[in-house]
Amino acid sequence: MDTFIGLMSGTSLDGIDAAVVRFPPGRVELLAARTTPFTRELRSELLALIQATGTDLLDRFGELDHRLGRLFAEAATGVCDQAGLEPGRVAAIGSHGLTVLHRPTGETPFSLQIGDPNLIAERTGITTVADFRRRDLAAGGQGAPLVPAFHAALFTRAEQARAVVNIGGMANLTLLPGSEEAAVTGFDTGPGNVLLDAWIQQQLGQPYDRDGAWAASGSVSEELLAALLADPYFTLPPPKSTGREHFNSTWLQDRLRGFELEPEAVQATLAELTAASIAVAIEREAQGTTELIVCGGGAYNPDLLQRIGARLPAVKLSVSDDYGLAAEWVEAVAFAWLAQKALEGKPGNVPAVTGAAGKRILGGVYPGTTGCGEDSKPE
Ligand SMILES: Nc1ncnc2c1ncn2[C@@H]1O[C@H](COP(=O)(O)OP(=O)(O)OP(=O)(O)O)[C@@H](O)[C@H]1O
Ligand SMILES: CC(=O)N[C@H]1[C@@H]2OC[C@@H](O2)[C@@H](O)[C@@H]1O[C@H](C)C(=O)O
């Protein structure tokens, strides 16, 4: 029972990533991985929930929590089949869920993920670990980002100051100092692909800018870039985390007012914003960085990589694939790894990253059905 499943559904709202994985010492062994895309209808329902107001909100919240719970269970079963693995051989599923609201600061900080883990445990029979963020929040942390502990376990090299950036809907950075004395740090740098996806969707009806080709065809507007970078989030000192509640199409529309630009120039400027916010964060927080390892969907965007590289000429740019783990699976694998930590009774947060009062074991455990004397599953 050394096999784990990680389930991740991120801020891009593109679907569920599922990975079956083992963790031999110092390594990751990926047995199978797949994405279950959300239908257009479900994606727009999720977007509507995330942006919602109104009286039927709680109904919709409960319904989508249930529907996603079922879909996560199917994603886990599907990836198990793909790996040729009996569910009884899986130690646990680590399910991130889908973030509908993340408000990590103020008097009543919280972070809400949906995708009922009870349903996942019931329908797969596999012990499920979920609700990873709220214990860290309870300890005074941001509850995000959580992948830095995994990045540190996988990518730390002695005497090498490395950075790892995950470019999903949002982008988050892990800084690995490469020396025992200095601490691992990290934070969300701001938007990753979310604004690029929103703009091309609005202008051309495409879900994302494949290979960054549209952005590459436009010229960056330095004025617009400066206006976007004037958002106080970019200069806020860490710990900090963000999400779609801040960086979304309304945020962009507000800042585009008064500009008259070709749509592809806006796309180019948004790509430059992602690149600049990552580069500035590294320059400000980790000047000695020699290598930047990119993961998440943004690693497949050559235009974005080129822009990041141009802003950090002294830094070697790699993708996680160069170290044996495909960029698209890093987050799902991280939640499998966090599930293993939880079951071992080991902490999963990095207090220097989230700002929590200390290390905490993350996640609630929803036991599987083995040992219950009942192995029937609902249809
Ligand atoms: N070939 C490609 N060219 C350009 N962009 C791409 C390509 N492949 C993936 N992407 C981008 O990556 C995004 C998906 O990234 P990913 O799956 O890492 O996001 P996520 O897990 O939803 O996000 P988060 O890290 O915020 O939770 C797509 O929406 C798209 O913008
Ligand atoms: C609240 C939430 O879901 N945050 C996501 C989001 O997507 C990227 C960035 O913002 C990061 O903080 C986090 O995800 C990763 C998995 C994390 O916690 O490390």
DSSP code per residue over 289-302: --EEEEESGGGG-H
> Which residue's alpha carbon is at the smallest distance from atom 2 of ligand 2?
99
| Residue 207 counted as domain residue | yes
Residue 370 has pLDDT above 90, yes or no: no
Residues 60 and 10 in one domain: yes
CB 39 within 8 A of CB 207: no
Predicted local confidence at residue 26, as pLDDT = 86
355: left (phi over 0), alpha (psi -120 to 50) or beta: left
- Tell whether 240 is covered by a domain: yes
Q: What is the pLDDT of residue 97?
A: 98
Task: Using a pLDDT cut of 90, give the percent of the chain over it.
Answer: 94
- The reply to whether 373 falls in a domain is no
**Same domain assignment for residues 200 and 319:** yes
Question: 137 and 34 share a domain?
Answer: yes
Beta bridge partners of 365: 129
| pLDDT higher than 60, residue 350 | yes
* Co-location of 275 and 324 in the same domain: yes
Burial class from Cβ neighbours inside 10 Å (0-12, 13-18, 19+) for residue 252 reads buried
Which residue is closest in CA terms to ligand 2's atom 12? Answer: 145
Q: Is residue 379 part of a domain?
A: no
Pair (98, 61) in one structural domain: yes
Q: Could you tell me if 163 and 209 lie in one domain? A: yes
**Containing structural domain, residue 170:** 148-328
The CATH number covering residue 72 comes to 3.30.420.40
Whether pLDDT at 260 is above 70: yes
Number of domains forming the structure of the chain: 2
Q: What is the pLDDT of residue 178?
A: 85
Please report which confidence band the pLDDT of residue 55 belongs to, taking 50, 70 and 90 as the band edges: low
Which tens digit of pLDDT belongs to each residue from 194-235? 999 999 999 999 999 999 999 999 999 999 999 999 999 999
Q: Is 350 in the pocket of ligand 2 (CB under 6 A)?
A: no
Confidence of residue 376 (pLDDT cuts 50, 70, 90): low
Do 98 and 133 share a domain, yes or no?
A: yes
Distances (CA, A) of 123 to 80, 290, 379: 13, 46, 8
**What CA–CA distance (Å, rounded) separates 172 from 154?**
16
Q: Is 375 annotated as a binding residue?
A: no
pLDDT at 375: 53
| Residue 49 identity (one-letter amino acid) | L
Range with lowest mean pLDDT among 42-51, 115-124, 309-318: 42-51
Q: Is 334 helix (H, G, I), strand (E, B) or coil?
A: helix
The contacts of residue 64 (CB under 8 Å, 6+ apart) are 45, 46, 49, 114
- At 360, list the tokens: 């905490």
Same-domain status, 307 and 346? no
Among 46, 166, 320, say which to mutate for ligand 2: greatest number of ligand atoms within 8 Å of CB: 166
pLDDT of residue 182: 84
The reply to whether 237 and 248 lie within a common domain is yes
Residue 153 CA, distance from chain mean position: 17
Q: Decide: helix, strand or coil at residue 158.
A: coil
Q: Give me 146's structure tokens.
A: 């959580």
CA dihedral over 163, 4, 127, 83, signed as positive or negative: positive
The string of pLDDT tens digits covering residues 118-163 is: 999 999 999 999 999 999 999 999 999 999 999 999 999 999 999 9
Tokens encoding 210: 């494949």
Task: Say what the pLDDT of residue 373 is.
Answer: 62
